[in-house]
Amino acid sequence: MTIFFAAIFSMTMIYACSTSRIEAYIRVLSLQGILLFLCVITGPKGLPAVTFIFLCVETFGFKAVLIPWFLMYTVRKNGVLREDEPYIPNFYSVVTATLIFAAVFFVSFLILKSGTAPGFKALYFGAALSAIATGLFIIISRKKVITHVMGFVMMENGIFLLSLSFAGEMPFIVNLGVLLDLFIAVFLLGLFVSRINSTFDELEVDMLSELKD
């Protein structure tokens, strides 16, 4: 069942590459949070109760609800509706994301076939690594700062999915540190977006070259 949720998680990244609506990105983030929550409750067994509860709160409370809500508030406050002219058009973005997925899953199944990693889950690993790579691609290929924030969160979701396979050995304090880093980064970037919007008409990274000391 966890593999099924991980596969749907991968599909959300392709959808993110195909859309230009900012609110659609946020809905993808919320859906990813729900899928990660389902991966937690159906995935690793034998987790300490405190770690399990923390992971549930982190995925559902923060990733599925709080962070998307804050981003939606920032987007609507600043009137950012669409990613109008990305560096790479949506069609080519989807093609690139598909190629990334094909390459990552090919490598994953080669590792599985080699038998060098006992217990290796090719689909699970491929979904996580392709999400990380696609999140980075979204950051590179889009112009608006707020879209870069969302690409960063998508990358972190992929890292979280990858780390679930080691959840039984991951100290609670490490989980807490990762969550705090993510929350602070999104919060500060949200404020950064609002500040830029009060200075420029557009929230594109090209405008940052006009900032002066």
Q: Structural domain boundaries of the chain?
A: 2-210
E strands, the chain, in order: none
**pLDDT for 6:** 81
pLDDT grade for 164, boundaries at 50, 70 and 90: confident
Crossing angle for the helix pair 172-197 and 145-163, to the nearest 10 degrees: 170
- At 14-41, the pLDDT tens digits run 898 888 888 899 999 999 999 989 988 8
In DSSP terms, 21 is beta-bridged to 82
Tokens of 181: 């880093």
Render 89-112 in DSSP notation, one character per residue.
-HHHHHHHHHHHHHHHHHHHHHHH
Amino acid at residue number 124:
Y
CA 147 and chain centroid, separation? 11
DSSP character for 118?
T
